[in-house]
Amino acid sequence: MLDINLIRKDFPILKRQVNGKPLVYFDNAATSQTPQQVIDVIVDYYSNYNANIHRGVHALSQEATDKYEAARHTIQNHFNAKKAQEIIFTSGTTHAINLVANGFSKLINQDDELIVSALEHHSNIVPWQMLCEKTGAKLKVIPMTLEGELDMEAYTALLSEKTKLVFVNHISNALGTINPIKTIINQAHNFGAAVLIDGAQACPHIKPDVQALDVDFYVTSAHKICGPTGVGMLYGKEEWLNKMEPYQGGGEMIDQVTFEKTTYAGLPHKFEAGTPNICGGIAFGAALDYMNAIGFDKIATYEKELLDYGTEKLLEIEGLKIYGTSNNKTSVISFNLEGIHPYDVGTLLDKMGIAVRTGHHCAQPIMSFYNIPGTIRASFAFYNTKAEIDALVSGVKKAKMMLS
């Protein structure tokens, strides 16, 4: 069991008040909060060894380089990548997806087909649409069910020898559905297609093993996993990364530069042009260390308790409907109150110190499927409590009474 009171002491922001009320933070699917242990790493970097990396012979540069590359190894070990050079630092999940989409621009032809799921965040839709516009390839969509799950029979029917890329999120940010990515990967590989998995919503709850999944690309953001904003990761199999052209040109990603020709550096530097978010990368590693010290199995068990408790209590409210009712989901509850706009509910909850997300959650196709403008999304983390869920339920009841 987790010692929730002890864990909550690690997060200074949980002590603050909003509108005179204790903060209840249920917007974890957008960004998680940061523990003091990671904050201390950030302060330590800027206080004691702030310097550019890989280019200096002086002590500060060498220390920063060592800690940055140690963080890469931490990330490699966490995701069980075969080699550290298969871990590319990015500014986040969106950057990582765009990097891969750009890298495939010369590997995709007019007659090729790409497959995306109906559950995707816009960041895992728009870059592929742009790639199709450049290449003439066709984009096909795995449909979803009313429960918020993927139609796997339809997916099987979409696959063919023309399929070159499949991209699916591990967990839906809008509904919390955990997708059967191992099956999706295996079936795509039967047709020689590569697979990219958007793990931004999964990594706070699940510890992915990229070798066991046999996934070609896996992407995530540190700020979902108790780390800082502005840094993320692309895992890519070495063979694919070697085939892809660099996403950006500049310093660090070169081998030799003349005015006649430039040759590129090897992995991972080939895809890491310019001065990176050094502090962010180091803090990313520290955040993974923090969560691994707690234990992902313990986190998953506790968050399942929160999900079950929150679902039961919210459904006791007349006129409340939950979207995303898969039996295989994580601690996200998307819901609406009949006849009331989600924005209005979210605004009133904020007055009570309760932070939820309202709107389409960068997943407009999902909202179109349900024919709704958006939802109220409460997303729980391992530092949340059942008492906070009680406060949410009470707040929703008050909002309903005021807005009906």
- pLDDT tens profile 35-79: 999 999 999 999 999 999 997 899 999 999 999 999 999 999 999
> Is residue 277 classed as helix, strand or coil in its secondary structure?
coil
Model pTM score: 0.97
- DSSP secondary structure letter of residue 201: T
In the annotation, is 226 catalytic?
A: no
Instruction: Catalytic residue, from 132, 203, 226, 362: name it.
Output: 362
DSSP string, 292-309: HHH-HHHHHHHHHHHHHH
Residue 301: φ, ψ to 5°: -65, -45
Q: 257: which residues sit within 8 A by CB, 6+ positions away?
A: none
Task: Go through the domains of the chain in sequence order and give each one's CATH number.
Answer: 4-30+296-403 (3.90.1150.10), 39-292 (3.40.640.10)
Q: State residue 255's pLDDT score.
A: 87
| pLDDT score at 254 | 86
What is the model's pLDDT at position 55?
Answer: 79
In this predicted structure, what is the pLDDT of residue 251?
Answer: 86
b/e 231-261 (16+ beta carbons within 10 angstroms → b):
bbbbbbbeebbeebebbeeeebbbeeeeeee
The pLDDT score that the predictor gives to residue 314 is 98
346 closest CA partner among 331, 361, 325:
361
Q: Give the pLDDT of residue 125.
A: 97
User: Rounded distance, CA 12 to CA 42, Å?
Assistant: 15
State the average pLDDT over residues 93-97.
Answer: 98
Query: Counting beta carbons within 10 angstroms of the beta carbon of residue 55, is it exposed (0 to 12), middle (13 to 18) or buried (19 or more)?
Result: exposed
Tokens 């109150």, residue located: 337
pLDDT at position 4, please? 96
Closest CA to 132 of 89, 93, 179, 167: 167
CA 66-274-199 angle, to 5 degrees, is 75
Dihedral, CA of residue 199, residue 202, residue 206 and residue 209, to nearest 10: -10
- Residue found by looking up tokens 């007349």 in the block: 318
Percent of the chain with pLDDT over 70: 100
Q: How confident is the model at residue 264 (pLDDT cuts 50, 70, 90)?
A: confident
Nearest-10 crossing angle of helices 126-135, 93-103: 10
The answer to whether the CB of 54 falls within 8 A of the CB of 267 is no
